Chain A
Amino acid sequence: MKPKFDIIRLSKWFLLLSSAITVAGIVVFAIFGFNLGTDFKAGSRVQISFSQPVNQEKVGQMFQSIGVPMRDTSITVAGTRQNVAVVRFPEVLTSAQQNKLDGAEKAYFGKDLPDSVQTVDPFVATQTAHKAVYAVLIAAAFIVVYIAIRFEFRFAIAGIIALLHDVFIVLAAFALLRREVDLTFIAAVLTIVGYSINDTIVIFDRIRENLKIVKPKDVETLKQLVNRSLWQTMSRSINTVVTVLIAAVILYFFGGVSIRNFTFALIIGLVSGAYSSIFIASPLWVLMRGRSLKRGKRKETAKTELV
């Protein structure tokens, strides 16, 4: 099969693109930071579903009426019929305030359904955040060990860089779009870790297989081999991403509101994962492997000179 398009030759641009996104991401983190959800920050989050469409202003008035100070930015109206209000407070609502809230809902919107109130203590929040970071790092470490055993160390390094790249892109997207980072977001990031490496492994597996047939002696044949492997796995890569994206996109638009953050993170992670498996992981491996090829050759020539 003839390579349709020389991915490896253009890899410089892909690596440059990803580096640019990474730098942009760091700048965004530095300036804005994350929009942390109540899972990670002390405070309360009240989610109320109404039987009618509501607007920010009226919800704000309702909270003012029970003596809870409000900022307009802390109210989000969501739901297919604009009938769900999510309100965040930097302070923990007291039981008395929560009880008053029920009365106010009835007075303003004639509502008698209970709502969802979450409160979190910073102690639990920081603990959860730390655990999530550890989980990603430890998962990465275990995956490195597995790939190093099953493949070789260079594959493990390239795979992990691609994986961290995907996680970083999702984090950057959430920081940039000011999306709320909550517990389900962490679950999404961890899924992306699994998926991204899954994608990369399939391509690496094909490279490993082709390496058994042809043993490249110079960088040029190595590049050709990787290009060939990438195109051999291309229809699988595309078909798989398409099917999973179908599920993620449908869940995003029509699934429950509570998993919207999860599916959003997943969609970005899936696209980034497919991209990085093809355009980042394999070129990185070629770079590392190519360098060792050259070094090996130098050693060989040195030996012949000695002889």
Chain B
Amino acid sequence: MKWGRFLAFLLMAAVILGGTAGSVTNLWKSIPLGLDLQGGFDLLYKIEPLPGQPITESGKQALVQAVENRINSIGTESPMIDLEGQNELRVQLAGTFNQAHAKQVIGTTAQLQIYSSAKIDKKTGKITGPAGKLLATGSDLKSNATWVQDPNTGQNEVAISFKNPTQWENITKQYYQKPIYVFLNGQLLTDPVIKQKMYSGDSVISGPSLNTVQACNQLANSINAGALPYNLSLVSQQSVGPSLGQESLKATLWAGLAAMVLIFIFMIVMYRMAGLIADLALVAYGYVTIAVFDGMHIVLTLSGLAALVLGVGMAVDANIITYERIKDEMRNGRSLKSAVKIGNKNALRTILDSNATTFIAGAVMYAFGEGDIRGFATALMISIIVSLLTAVLLSRVLLFTFTNSNAIRRPWWYGVGKGVLKNDETKV
């Protein structure tokens, strides 16, 4: 028995188990859960062009900006807004809130409003809402707002123009040297002070928050979105009550855990010590997969969770293929050490080929699927790669270190039954 090798094996096992036990709960908690697991709703809109206005890329970006502003005004956590296909917009809102209200805010045209005064919170000095007279709305503006720079000062500004120049002329006359308040869906965008009387209907907005090009473009987009480039029609909605999602998640987690335990026991019964090593590698597989999910900010959904559990199947298969090969080599009369070596080598090609085909299926799913299917495909591809690293590479290192330590030499410990070898006690 070589104690050095054996200690190295024990150390690796301790690192895997200790590392996993130490941080897996924190890691698990930091993975964002999908709508089906934590509740919320998913809206799919079809983008419909207005007559004579074809859908353009920049128009779609402005639309996303507009929708984001609207959702921010509802005050939900981390909304997801994605353009899909040719002309679809998907909005996902997690958590609990007034869903009917949210739908109304997103689906109806943006309310860009210019007021003569505003409500001010006396304690904080912050502007909380519009007050006074409504001077103009988004429908009064042309949707051609752009970022410009003041030719004299070089300051970043947003150029706007009114459809009816006299309207702006009247406003600037009346509010000369006074501030006006521009709101989008009840949220203050800017509160410029009128410095000049304007006759052409063109004007610029500047302010302390508009100090970067990005901020100006954002505001310009918002103003243009106020006159919304396209109509949105709701084609699909899916809402999940949080209790239902939680119930599903809990049940699936427990079932997954029970399945894992049974698989662990099965492996030990079938392959004894080698099975135990496979189980160690499986623990590493589970941990690394969750860590990768966390690192890539993957939102975990029910189907993703299923892919994760199924990935366990792939990882187990890799170990079973290897151990069956080792058994074959022992039947052919090889010593334990060389059987482990040759068996591993022979198994690797099989594992690579079989995993590659499943990976191809996953990649195709990702390329041609959407939503849940895509999430599932991502989880499947990640679990295949992680399984190759842990269930194949790590498992192999563990097995080699263990066999080289000569701690256990009887083939029985590697799943080789009596009667397979004529005199298994002597063949080590």
Contacts and interface: CB of A to CB of B under 8 A. Distances in A.
Among B267, B270, B317: residue with most chain A CB under 10 A: B317
Contacts of A183: 371-373
A68 interface: no
Interface string B249-281: 101101110111011001100100000000000
Interface string B366-399: 0111111100110010000000000000000000
Contacts of A49: 241, 243-244, 247
A135 B370 CA distance: 11
Among A1, A191, A202: residue with most chain B CB under 10 A: A191
Interface in A239-260: 239-240, 242-244, 246-247, 250-251, 253-259
A27 interface: no
Contacts, number: 215
A283 B328 CA distance: 24
Interface string B57-72: 0000000000000000
Contacts of B96: 114
A119 to B, nearest CB: 5
A304 interface: no
A190 B376 CA distance: 10
B309 interface: yes
B361 A256 contact: no
Nearest to A263: B306
A146 B242 contact: no
B263 A115 contact: no
Interface in B347-376: 349-350, 353-358, 360-365, 367-373, 376
A232 B349 contact: no
Contacts of B305: 259
B36 A258 contact: yes
A244 B239 contact: no
Among B103, B239, B331: residue with most chain A CB under 10 A: B239
A-side interface mostly: helix
A116 B320 contact: no
Among B267, B314, B349, B368: residue with most chain A CB under 10 A: B368
A251 B309 contact: yes
B17 to A, nearest CB: 21
Interface residues of A, number: 69
Contacts of B421: none
A187 B371 CA distance: 11
Nearest to A99: B100
B248 interface: yes
B321 A202 contact: yes
A47 B244 CA distance: 9
Contact of A240 (B247, B320, B363, B371): B320
Contacts of B235: 120-121, 123-124
A43 to B, nearest CB: 11
Contacts of B365: 135, 139, 187, 190
B340 interface: no
Given A135-B364, A198-B355, A256-B251, A232 B237 contact: no
Contacts of A114: 39, 96, 239, 241-243
B10 to A, nearest CB: 27
A207 to B, nearest CB: 11
B216 interface: no
Interface in A246-294: 246-247, 250-251, 253-259, 262-263, 266
B262 A246 contact: yes
B44 interface: yes
Interface string A225-247: 00000001101100110111011
Among B46, B255, B263: residue with most chain A CB under 10 A: B255
A124 B235 CA distance: 7
A73 interface: no
Contacts of B346: 209
A243 B282 CA distance: 13
A131 interface: yes
B57 to A, nearest CB: 21
A194 interface: yes
Contacts of B302: 184, 256, 258-259
Given A115-B244, A243-B263, A236 B320 contact: yes
Contacts of B144: none
Contacts of B331: 1
Among B254, B310, B328, B377: residue with most chain A CB under 10 A: B310
Interface string B309-320: 110111011001
Nearest to B265: A246
B236 interface: yes
Interface in B322-360: 324, 327-328, 331, 346, 349-350, 353-358, 360
A118 B380 CA distance: 26
Contact of A142 (B303, B364, B369): B364
Contact of B251 (A115, A131, A254, A266): A254
Interface string A1-29: 10000000000000000000000000000
Nearest to A244: B313
A250 B259 CA distance: 6
A183 B100 CA distance: 25
A126 to B, nearest CB: 12
Interface string A183-213: 1101100110111011101100110010000
A202 B373 contact: no
A158 to B, nearest CB: 14
B320 A187 contact: no
Given A131-B370, A206-B350, A243-B316, 5 more contacts: A49-B243, A184-B372, A187-B376, A240-B320, A256-B302
28 contacts: A117-B238, A135-B365, A150-B353, A150-B356, A183-B371, A187-B372, A194-B361, A195-B313, A198-B314, A198-B317, A198-B354, A198-B357, A202-B350, A205-B354, A235-B327, A236-B317, A236-B320, A239-B266, A239-B270, A243-B263, A246-B263, A251-B252, A251-B255, A254-B251, A254-B255, A255-B248, A256-B251, A259-B306
Interface of A: 1, 47, 49, 95, 99, 113-121, 123-124, 127-128, 131-132, 134-135, 138-139, 142-143, 146-147, 150, 183-184, 186-187, 190-191, 193-195, 197-199, 201-202, 205-206, 209, 232-233, 235-236, 239-240, 242-244, 246-247, 250-251, 253-259, 262-263, 266
6 smallest beta-carbon distances between A and B, as pairs = A256-B248, A194-B358, A254-B255, A244-B313, A114-B241, A194-B361
